[in-house]
Amino acid sequence: MNNVLTLPIRAVSQKIVAGEIRPSELARASLKLTSVVKPLNAFITVTDKLAEQQSCESDERQARKELLGELDGVPIAVKDNFCVSGDYTTCASKMLADFVPPYDATIYQRLRDSGAVLVGKTNLDQFAMGAGTVDSLYGPSKNLWGSEMMELYEFDDYFHDEEIQFSKAACETDNWHIAGGSSGGSAIAVSTGTCFAALGSDTGGSTRNPASYCGLVGLKPTYGLVSRHGLIPLVNSMDVPGILTRTVGDAVTILNKIAGPDPLDSTTYKSPFTPLEVSLPLDISGLRIGLPKEYRCSDLTEEVDENWRMVGQLLEEAGARVFPVSMPHTEYSIVCYSVLNQCEVASNMARYDGLEYGHRAEIPGTLEELYAKSRSEGFNDVVRSRILAGNYYLLSENYEDFFIRAMKVRRLISDDFENVWKSGVDLLLTPTTLSDAPRYQDFMSEDNQTQCSVQDFCTQPANMAGIPAVSVPIKLSKKGLPLSVQLMAPKLCEERLLKVAKWIEDIVKFPRLVLKDESLVK
């Protein structure tokens, strides 16, 4: 069972179809593993009873030879800002600690309709406002890589590198590596093998950032390709459901099930979605790949820069034309993003008033006092600060100087991408993050807003422009931590994006983790 939990989805599906493993056995193994790796704090809620019920339904379909496809019986996890009917959806906050939605998010429902088995709701920064998964009401999440839990795992047979030594110092209190955020719980769930895929959300890099730090594939689709219905909103104009998997092929499998128009989300594209196929051989020659020179910023570490250059060289040696391009408004992107983020946060958080919706404080007094106390108790400092900043930017005397000006800059940033595509560039290649996963102590030495500005430097422009982007793991740093690159493509060019991502994946052969001892999950 130990190797089964870290197989690609297609491979484990073949075992289910052949009757070599029952979905209920697979679910029990996944749930057992969630207990083993509990110190990493990947899950807010483990849905053990629901997983048992769903996997038994898959058992019955297996027995009748009526399986619903590749995902039938396959364990998945969902970030705890997606609604799941009958189970808590907390956004890792006190404000929604008791919220049980009466409906399912569209994309979760589509996965369920495909037979997927939910093993749990994963941890995140409160209301997805963060880049480390350290600001959760339920405590911070810890990266598997460099942690004491690494002793349970070994590398796939094809990877041998005696120079890689994992730091035992990471086992010390408060000296572990962050998983990234805000979808860090989803990333840990996949990297540990407790599930085969997990849903995240991506507003400025919240899927790609943890994917990079945890050695996974992190996909942010084109804005509007995947329904946001049932995703509790952060920034409506930038939120996109994301996908975290161990391989590009698995990301494609999930995307093919969840993409497409949704009458419950008016922002989705109305045309039917054609499933992608990326397994066919790809001829790289002739591709034009741009390297945005503005992404080589002052905080970029030498190792990440070297990793970026290496992947560019691999593509060039295969016949692609790789050359520098300019994205002149990149330096303004993170500031523009911060203003727009906080404006929309202020608007979206207004619904949590303690009367109709959200945590209600126990306080006698006026209505205004009830509002103030409920919101003060329900939101943490990060959320409150963004609400206050957003309301300030939206004041009538500030509106033109902040919100309108930021919208104009956003158009310029979007135009940078359009101009690059019009010049004939097929894809952009950049770093995903500026370093390998920081240690918790170092990460917490800066405030949330500063960390988001650093961590999301390379990722948030794609959200500003609404284009698809994917993070692909490449190799390990000298500290034994994952390093990744990011690919970006024009809107709705997911197939091109993911074909090249798979080509890179096949060439670099990033070291995959498998459990050493199968008795852990029996």
Q: How far apart are CA 291 and CA 334, in angstroms?
A: 19
- 44 Ramachandran zone, left/alpha/beta (phi>0; psi -120 to 50): alpha
Residue-wise over 301-327: b if at least 16 C-beta within 10 A, else e?
eebbeebbeebbebbeebebbbeebeb
pLDDT for res 455 = 84
Q: How far apart are CA 289 and CA 321, in angstroms?
A: 6
pLDDT at 85 over 80: yes
Give the model confidence (pLDDT) of 175-194 as tens digits. 899 999 999 999 999 999 99
Annotated catalytic residue 79:
yes
pLDDT band with cut points at 50, 70 and 90 for residue 163:
very low
Q: Which of 93, 127, 104, 107 is nearest to 47 (CA)?
A: 104
Q: Do residues 207 and 467 make contact, with C-beta atoms less than 8 angstroms apart?
A: no
> Does 482 or 445 have the greater pLDDT score?
482
pLDDT band with cut points at 50, 70 and 90 for residue 167:
very low
DSSP string of 302-313?
Answer: HHHHHHHHHHHH
pLDDT band with cut points at 50, 70 and 90 for residue 169:
very low
In the set 182, 191, 201, 333, the catalytic residue is 182
In the set 191, 206, 435, 477, the catalytic residue is 206
Strand, helix or coil for residue 200: strand
∠ CA 21-38-15, nearest 5°, is: 10
Give the model confidence (pLDDT) of 88-103 as tens digits. 999 999 999 999 999 9
Q: What token pair was written down for 123?
A: 């941890």
- Say what percent of the chain tops pLDDT 90: 88
Annotated catalytic residue 55:
no
Q: How far apart are CA 509 and CA 208, in angstroms?
A: 19
Q: How far apart are CA 432 and CA 439, in angstroms?
A: 18
Give the model confidence (pLDDT) of 261-309 as tens digits. 999 999 999 999 999 999 888 889 999 999 999 999 989 999 999 999 9
Give the model confidence (pLDDT) of 388-437 as tens digits. 999 999 999 999 999 999 999 999 999 999 999 999 999 999 999 999 99
In the set 58, 79, 374, 491, the catalytic residue is 79
Annotated catalytic residue 206:
yes
